[in-house]
Amino acid sequence: MTRYTSATDADRAEMLAKIGAGSVADLFSEIPEAVRLQKPMDIPAGMSEQDVYDHLAALAGRNRDCEAEISFLGAGMYDHYVPALIDSILSRSEFLTPYTPYQPEISQGGLQVMFEYQTAISELTGLPVSNASLYEGPSSVPAAGWLAIQENKRTRFVVSRGLHPHSRETLETYARGFGATVHEAGLDETGATDVDALAALVDEDTAAVFVQQPNFLGTVEDLGVLSEAAKRTGALFVCAADPLPLGILAPPGEFGVDVCVGEGQTLGNRLDFGGPSFGFFAASEDHIRKMPGRIAGETKDVDGRRGFVLTLQTREQHIRREKATHNICTAQALNALAGVIYLSWLGRKGIVELGELMLRRTAYARQALPFEAINSGPVVREFAVKVPDMDALFQAARAEGVNPGYRLGRDYPEYQDGLLVAITERRTKEHIDKLARIAAGVGAEVTA
Amino acid sequence: MAESYPADLLYHPEHDWARIDGDEAVFGITWYAQDSLGELVFFDLPEVGSAVSANEPYAELESVKAVSDVYSPMSGEIVEVNAALSDAPETINDDPYGQGWLVKVKLSNPGEKDSLLSAEDYKGLLSQ
Amino acid sequence: MTSELVPERPDTITIYERSREGRRAFVSPETDVPETPISELLPAGAIRKDPAKLPEISEPEIVRHYNNLSKKNFDLDTGFYPLGSCTMKHNPKLNERVAGLPGHSRLHPLQDPAYAQGALELMWNLQGALSEVAGLPHVSLQPSAGSHGELAGLLLTRAYHEDRGQTRTKVLTPDTAHGTNPATVVMAGYEVVKVGTDEHGGVDIDDLEAKIGDDVACLMLTNPNTLGLFDRNIERIAQIVHGAGATLYYDGANLNAVMGISRPGDMGFDIVHFNLHKSFTQPHGGGGPGGGPIAVSDRIEPYLPRPQVVRNDSSNGHGPSFDLDYDRPKSIGRLRGFQGNYGVFVRSYTYIRSVGGDGLREAAETAVLNANYLKALLAEPGIAEQLPIAFDRTCMHEFVLSGSGAKQNLGIKTLDIAKRLLDHRVHPPTVYFPLLVDEALMIEPTETETKETLDDFARIVREILEEAAQDPEIARNAPYSTPVRRLDEAGAARNPVVRQPL
């Protein structure tokens, strides 16, 4: 037997006798002979726990993680500090190992967490209704698009080129199923969405308009102006946002945003090479019955005690089936729990202090690095610059244990020499100065 | 309230009733329908002026864990909806034949009433 | 039921209600750069005026708050959780340890592949193992959950047909299907056509033949199905579907029953999704995260999502190297950001390497043994009259009982039985699914439970039924011992309170 099963030979004999079967193989007699596997699977034999540990540790050792270098990588996921209490609470079996809360009487912990999480997301986005989370960031964007199509039966999406490339590509993928088309408005010379270009694309058949705050280059968008352009013909205005800078930025809900979605990794979730994290989804009140996913609500039990339940479940696939508001089954409960713990840990003042620290260090980095800006507009934690000799910079930086950031060329051919630099609270003045020194050295070589 | 099927109403096999008054009729759902659905939590009011066709769904009723189409017993145009239900859908549970009515319809084909069931016939259907 | 000596439990309070002005858990790193006024760094209109009303609270209070909340959850590490269709098998602890190694957990998703070779090799190896379990040659790990894998599968189907110049408009789903299937069909732009169930609990072949045609893009099937039954006509079904040029999609929710025993690819399926949180031990986390990789046949491969992990075998004596391939012109594109839920891949890969190919087969065998044993215990006199089996055949990893007897004879519903189970510190089975079984109870014990646990569960069910024969009110008003009792779900839906007013 494997170490995760307990049936002894004696157990098997007794159980088979009770069933009235001669052997375990007899239990599979319903499977036609022709579709039974006649050989062992080509998967290596099991190993002892310590051998498996060594193998997984060896694989981990061949990755250069954010503890092994000074990383300026961002572009959608960020090296923020995850406080120790998150590890401690998330490792509790009572949070780690239950299924989705179908029996509310024995799931009050998880349900209350969802309610607290929804409250926090509502506060950050300035929108009254939040669900209990979706898979992750980019796939939350088409979820907003699907809500728009259900609400207004239109078939065009207009997106800013400042929306994360993964979000745009994911929206394109889903749009083929939705029977919708995607039209893109470019960025202006400051790195912000070109409002006139966006306005020109919005027509009577536009279901939704998508922008990102801050946008992919890090630029803080003028949501008020974009909102006006987006909503002229009755389209829904969707803002993908990074929730952490929303601690210091005016909430999207103040600008007429109908749906605010985004990647939740920055709220206390590990990088994990891209997942799992969570996507958040908040909306104005009038869209509550078209929201995707789980929603927790407050109520009372038969004795009048306060409690929480999954509510408005008739929206969901297990009840409404082909008429459901989305096909998603659960949420990212554990990751959303990390999110609400993180926000409690930061607290009302801390989220502002952290935002301001990032803002100032980023401003410092922009000055310190000897590169021309791609986006000259306001930024919080990330910015793009032109690097004359990218390969040389990476080579020199790698040699000193520094990862300078994300190369924009693959996603933005117009910024072939572009580098996206992220400054989280983990990147100190010393780190920034080091990158600046390396950059200056490379620059000197280039000009020499 | 206790199970009942008033004799002055006509019934549709999808558990709907019609109270006909000349060329107008009020529609609702039967005691059996509200009992099967359980506590009702939401009635998405159809719009006044929209057309309904006999044997076709014209609205949805929601309980906590079920959604049910509401079928129109007869054809016509909705002239009034029971707006009080948007705040208190439980009225349908409490009083399905009175305060819990759903819509009033101007009938386009009053002769359709001949294909509806009497209370006795409907009760017979339920006992099958 | 509560002893009078036990003081009443106080009402729960939220983290926001614990907040007191001036408390904090976070201490900011020092500002080591010029303290430029914020108004010089951001335009006035972009600056938040009122801070988000997050709690003000110290670390010990946060820890206490969430530890107390955790104690109001029932969990798999504490007790039996026979929730049908969810495969609540043990989540090995090693998985968590290795997933937490910084080389995995702190690796940035956009790290240059040259510096993420361990991660890419892990993904490659996991793809290989899943491919072998599915009996299909190509795998994409990208989808985030079963529902996401389903959508991937139907978008792949769409791309496949369109590439051949065909427009097909319908997707067939059995009436026993999980709700995600029809919901996915609509999001993928198809019309749902239901196929009936025959008297043995399998696909009604006559109905399938009546509904198949050149306008059908795909049949989505769960096998074993949601009744826990293996469809004996699977070869005939595949023949009919392929004969019409449609694809055959395998919903992998019930894969745990057949790992190493029968492979979807060998049954004729073109596309399979896996639930890493079911068969491959990713903890459910109270409802996520999960993982929903897909495996596909050769004819579907060109359309797989971007990027794909590729292996380059070098000729210079170094080992193979791994990369991400974005150059896939026929790809349906991305379904999400980055490469998928890598943290989930680490756990599932760890599980697979722990038990090996033979261990996976043994897991399936034991899951089926446990299910049939429990089914036999619940078929004994005293239980079977109240909870008759829906389809009396040898089941696979789960089986479905009907509470119709208890409703008629004892005046208690399936819901009441479920609620009374809570007082016995057992998680109830899945209830009221599948829809075609009256008062359904869907029971999946999984392979990691002992015979004693199954014996105990059968004893508890018997006790509940005997108790109800004496006094049905006990079950009707259960539970009594839980942190809260039955909740007003209708009130919550009528007047939704979905956030705390602050």
**Could you report the per-residue pLDDT of B95-107, keeping only the tens digit for each?**
999 999 999 999 9
Considering only CA atoms, give the Rg of chain B: 13
What is the distance between the alpha carbons of residues A209 and A76, in angstroms, rounded to a whole number? 20
Q: From the CA of C497, how many Å to the nearest CA of chain B? A: 14
Say which of A79, A297, A333 has its CB closest to residue C288: A333
User: Which chain B residues have a beta carbon less than 8 Å from that of C431?
Assistant: none
What is the distance between the alpha carbons of residues A432 and B17, in angstroms, rounded to a whole number? 75
User: Which chain B residues have a beta carbon less than 8 Å from that of A151?
Assistant: none
Interface probe, candidates C431, C433, C489, C497, chain B, greatest B C-beta count within 10 A: C489
Q: From the CA of C405, how many Å to the nearest CA of chain B? A: 18
Predicted pLDDT at B66 = 87
Q: Is the pLDDT of residue A447 over 50?
A: no
SS3 A134: strand
Q: Is the pLDDT of residue A445 over 60?
A: no
B neighbour chains, 3+ CB pairs within 8 Å: A, C
Say if residues B65 and A314 touch (Cβ distance below 8 Å). Answer: yes
Residue C381 burial class via C-beta count within 10 angstroms: exposed 0-12, middle 13-18, buried 19 and up: exposed
Interface probe, candidates A272, A294, A380, chain C, greatest C C-beta count within 10 A: A272
Say which of C62, C267, C496 has its CB closest to residue A311: C496
Does the beta-carbon distance from B41 to C490 stay under 8 Å?
Answer: yes
Residue of C nearest to B63 (CA): C490
The pLDDT of A155-160, averaged and rounded, is: 98
The pLDDT of A97-126, averaged and rounded, is: 98
What sign does the CA torsion over A213, A219, A224, A229 have?
negative
Does the beta-carbon distance from C494 to B62 stay under 8 Å?
Answer: no
C neighbour chains, 3+ CB pairs within 8 Å: A, B
Say if residues B39 and B64 touch (Cβ distance below 8 Å). Answer: yes
What is the distance between the alpha carbons of residues C367 and C447, in angstroms, rounded to a whole number? 4
- Tell me how crowded residue B62 is: count the other CB atoms within 10 A of its CB: 24
Cα–Cα nearest to C344, from A335, A92, A138:
A335
Predicted pLDDT at A330 = 86
Mean pLDDT rounded to a whole number for chain A: 96
Say if residues A401 and C74 touch (Cβ distance below 8 Å). Answer: no
| Tokens at A281, concatenated | 């989804």
**Could you report the per-residue pLDDT of C259-283, keeping only the tens digit for each?**
999 999 999 999 999 999 999 999 9
Predicted pLDDT at A443 = 67
Q: What is the DSSP letter of A230?
A: H
| Tokens at C149, concatenated | 């894998």
Q: From the CA of C470, how many Å to the nearest CA of chain A? A: 23
Does the beta-carbon distance from A327 to C104 stay under 8 Å?
Answer: no
User: Which chain C residues have a beta carbon less than 8 Å from that of B39?
Assistant: 490
User: Which chain C residues have a beta carbon less than 8 Å from that of B38?
Assistant: 490
pLDDT band at A171, cuts 50/70/90? very high
Does the beta-carbon distance from B89 to C494 stay under 8 Å?
Answer: yes
Does the beta-carbon distance from C447 to A75 stay under 8 Å?
Answer: no
CA-based angle A16:A19:A24, to the nearest 5? 40
Is B120 an 8 Å CB contact of chain A? no
User: Which chain C residues have a beta carbon less than 8 Å from that of A172?
Assistant: 333
pLDDT band at A396, cuts 50/70/90? very high
The pLDDT of A23-48, averaged and rounded, is: 97
Predicted pLDDT at C318 = 79
A neighbour chains, 3+ CB pairs within 8 Å: B, C
In angstroms, the Cα distances linking A164 to A270, C92, C338, C434 are 20, 36, 11, 40
Say which of C53, C69, C493 has its CB closest to residue A113: C69
Is B95 an 8 Å CB contact of chain C? no
Q: How many CB pairs under 8 A join B and C?
A: 18
Predicted pLDDT at A1 = 62
Does the beta-carbon distance from C354 to A129 stay under 8 Å?
Answer: no
Q: Which residues of chain C have pLDDT under 50?
A: 1
Is C480 an 8 Å CB contact of chain A? no
Q: From the CA of A404, how many Å to the nearest CA of chain C? A: 11
**Could you report the per-residue pLDDT of A244-266, keeping only the tens digit for each?**
999 999 999 999 999 999 999 99
Q: Is the entire prediction scored with pTM above 0.80?
A: yes
Say which of A5, A57, A329 has its CB closest to residue C98: A57
3-state secondary structure chain B: CCCCCCCCCEEECCCEEEEEECCEEEEEECHHHHHHHCCEEEECCCCCCCEECCCCEEEEEEECCCEEEEECCCCEEEEEECCHHHHCCCHHHHCCCCCCCCEEEEECCHHHHHHCECHHHHHHHHCC
Cα–Cα nearest to C309, from C278, C273, C353, C339:
C339
Cα–Cα nearest to C117, from C311, C306, C307:
C311
**Could you report the per-residue pLDDT of A327-372, keeping only the tens digit for each?**
998 899 999 999 999 999 999 999 999 999 999 999 999 999 999 9
The pLDDT of A290-299, averaged and rounded, is: 97
Say which of A35, A250, A341 has its CB closest to residue C234: A35
Interface probe, candidates B37, B65, B67, B86, chain A, greatest A C-beta count within 10 A: B67
Q: From the CA of B62, how many Å to the nearest CA of chain A? A: 7
Does the beta-carbon distance from B62 to A323 stay under 8 Å?
Answer: no
Q: Is the pLDDT of residue A141 over 70?
A: yes
Return the H-helix or E-strand segment holding A320. helix A317-320
Is B93 an 8 Å CB contact of chain C? no
Predicted pLDDT at C3 = 63
Does the beta-carbon distance from A307 to C12 stay under 8 Å?
Answer: yes
C residues 375..434 contacting A (CB < 8 A): 375-377, 393-394, 396, 418-419, 422, 427-428, 430, 433
Q: From the CA of C493, how many Å to the nearest CA of chain B? A: 6
Q: How many CB pairs under 8 A join A and C?
A: 723
What is the distance between the alpha carbons of residues A211 and A162, in angstroms, rounded to a whole number? 7
CA-based angle C483:C486:C489, to the nearest 5? 120
User: Which chain B residues have a beta carbon less than 8 Å from that of C490?
Assistant: 38-41, 63-64, 90
Is B62 an 8 Å CB contact of chain A? yes
Per-residue burial over C322-341, b if 16 or more Cβ lie within 10 Å, else e, is bbeeeebeebbbbbbbbbbb
Q: From the CA of C415, how many Å to the nearest CA of chain B? A: 12
Lowest mean pLDDT among A185-194, B61-70, B99-108, C150-159: B61-70
Is C253 an 8 Å CB contact of chain A? no
Helices (H), C402-477: 404-405, 414-423, 451-470, 472-476
Q: Is the pLDDT of residue A12 over 50?
A: yes
Does the beta-carbon distance from C144 to A309 stay under 8 Å?
Answer: no
Q: From the CA of B117, how many Å to the nearest CA of chain C? A: 27
Instruction: Kindly report whether the peptide bond that precedes residue C264 is cis, defined as omega within 30 degrees of 0.
Output: no
Does the beta-carbon distance from B89 to C489 stay under 8 Å?
Answer: no
Residue of C nearest to A17 (CA): C373
Does the beta-carbon distance from C108 to A71 stay under 8 Å?
Answer: yes
